[in-house]
Structure 1
Amino acid sequence: MNRLKEGRYIPLQQYLMNVTANEIKLTFSEIESILKESLPASAYKYKVWWGNTERSQKHAVTWLHAGYKIKEVDFGNYVIFIKADVAENKVLFKVEHGNQANVVDYTEAGYIEKISNKLIEAQAYLNNADVDGFSKLEVIEQFELLKGLRRILGNIDNDMSFLGCLLIKEFLQSRHGLSDLKMALKPGLDIDELTADGKRVIGELKTTYPYLENDFGSQQKSSFLNDFEKLQRNDAQFKYFFVTEPRTYEIVCAKYLTYLEGVKVVLLPNALRDNNFIVDVMK
């Protein structure tokens, strides 16, 4: 028998290693009772979480190293494990899952979980796709493969903006002691906060990568100028223009500082560790 792997799922692996039945049915509640903690939200929603290969899901060692495979999953209700030597390759999924899987979590942790689930699904999708042979596929197959990946990733720019906002949160916490920031509901929107002594902090975030080698494309430039104008027309003791791409930071500093008087240009995450990535544009 393979040795136990370290991690949060050891109790479930031990449980499965101590049963002798060819098939065992456990409810989600029973599994969580064995683990003494809740399963992640992705276990309630995504087929790939219950995959029978370590390549797609590292935690699959929980049942695979105990000699079992997943036979059937009814999301939020139960999971059927079956001895690997009698298991079929196909897993039956019942998608009529309960209300718990339909709850939308708008907290920061919930948004992170959503991104995590998206990456898990994308990883499994690419593992099963002919990525290495992509150039040899017919154009229809290439199109369908890429379309499937886009469907999984969705609007990844929103995800980047959200994570950028979390970087801003760390920055503002360290600089201004702003501890009660709720960033999950405003990815990509203006930063508009008050310090403990009543000073206003505003900022704009851009995760954009320049379309041109040494400048922004026309639509990008219009969006940047609009953000610059918003920062200029608002009164605040502290004004920030945050960017997450080094090339964007270089272009802004080289060509657009005249639009940013009184604003600090900040490259994240670099500025969290090095003040040299903060440019204070004096009036």
Structure 2
Amino acid sequence: MDSFSSSEQRFCEIIRGKDRALRDFLSGSTLPDHIDAQTWLTYLTGIKSALGNLNNDLAFVATLLVKRYLQDRFGILDFDAAGKAQGAAGVDIEAITKDGKPIVGELKTTKPYQPGFGAQQRTMMLKDLKRLAASDAAHRFMFVTDPDAFTALCKPGFANRVPGVEIVDLVTGRTFLCEGPQV
């Protein structure tokens, strides 16, 4: 059974509140059949207002999956998914195993908009992967939530550049250890 810190529970309640706000908004509003830019903008703004920064909410919930993964694999008990603000600078995940070994990880909820990522997506992925590979942590992870992102990261164009980084699909549980170029 999952156990959540008080800050994790608080963040979940905020998300639950956004869900209620969206449901309330949608129950009283509909997008009209005729195209009227002003009405459509008002409608979409209402949805955006109800949801707030959905990307941060997705990343937080994905971090709860990271927490579960670390608990199951390493028995980590003191990781707080709400301990670091989503989008804050630096590595996304930092934890210590029971025997004192450091764990670092990056979390990506990125959906490739084309196979292998778009140019900017690819640049950001490589930047984070290289930072992980350069880390002296005992365990280095790239956590993803999208199956296409997982598949792309497991290909030689990424995997050969970042030996020792483990790619983890948080949704399916698949993992892949990058071993560097094969000679």
Q: Displacement, 1:221?
A: 1.6
Q: Secondary structure at the match of 1:259?
A: coil
Pick from 16, 41, 51: which aligns with 1:143?
A: 41
Q: Displacement, 1:260?
A: 2.4
In structure 1, C-alpha distance between the alignment counterparts of 2:140 and 2:122, rounded to whole Å: 20
Q: Displacement, 1:218?
A: 2.1
Q: Displacement, 1:169?
A: 0.3
Pick from 144, 149, 155: which aligns with 1:243?
A: 144
Q: Which residue of 1 aligns with 2:63?
A: 165
- The letter of the residue matching 2:26 is L
Q: Which residue of 1 aligns with 2:9?
A: 109
Q: Which residue of 2 aligns with 1:225?
A: 126
Q: Which residue of 2 aligns with 1:278?
A: 175
Q: Which residue of 1 aligns with 2:116?
A: 215
Identity of aligned residues (%): 33
In structure 2, C-alpha distance between the alignment counterparts of 1:201 and 1:235, rounded to whole Å: 9
| Larger RCO of the pair (alpha carbons < 8 Å, separation 6+) | 2
Aligned pairs, number: 171
- Find out whether 1:257 has 2:154 as its counterpart: no
- The letter of the residue matching 1:226 is K
- For residues 9-66 of structure 1, what are the alpha-carbon distances to aligned partners after superposition, in whole Å with 9 as ceiling and x for unaligned? xxxxxxxxxxxxxxxxxxxxxxxxxxxxxxxxxxxxxxxxxxxxxxxxxxxxxxxxxx
In structure 1, C-alpha distance between the alignment counterparts of 2:146 and 2:30, rounded to whole Å: 31
- For residues 82-125 of structure 1, what are the alpha-carbon distances to aligned partners after superposition, in whole Å with 9 as ceiling and x for unaligned? xxxxxxxxxxxxxxxxxxxxxxxx70000000000001100110
Q: Secondary structure at the match of 1:160?
A: helix
Q: Displacement, 1:233?
A: 1.6
Contact 2:167/2:177, CA 8 A, preserved across alignment: yes
- Find out whether 1:199 has 2:96 as its counterpart: no
Aligned counterparts, 1:53-68, within 5 A: none
Aligned counterparts, 1:75-90, within 5 A: none
In structure 2, C-alpha distance between the alignment counterparts of 1:140 and 1:215, rounded to whole Å: 37
- The letter of the residue matching 1:240 is F
Q: Which residue of 2 aligns with 1:129?
A: 29
- The letter of the residue matching 2:135 is N
Return the index of the structure with the highest Cα Rg. 1
- The letter of the residue matching 1:157 is N
Contact 2:159/2:179, CA 8 A, preserved across alignment: no
- The letter of the residue matching 1:232 is A
> Bigger shift: 242-251 or 218-227?
218-227
Give the TM-score, by structure 2 length.
0.87
Q: Which ranges of structure 2 fall in alignment gaps of 5 or more residues? A: 1-5
- The letter of the residue matching 1:126 is L
Q: Secondary structure at the match of 1:178?
A: coil
What value does the CA root-mean-square deviation take over the aligned residues?
A: 1.7
In structure 1, C-alpha distance between the alignment counterparts of 2:133 and 2:177, rounded to whole Å: 14
Contact 2:129/2:165, CA 8 A, preserved across alignment: no
Q: Which residue of 2 aligns with 1:119?
A: 19
Give the TM-score, by structure 1 length.
0.57
- For residues 165-224 of structure 1, what are the alpha-carbon distances to aligned partners after superposition, in whole Å with 9 as ceiling and x for unaligned? 100000000000101111113235521111111111111100011122x12122212211
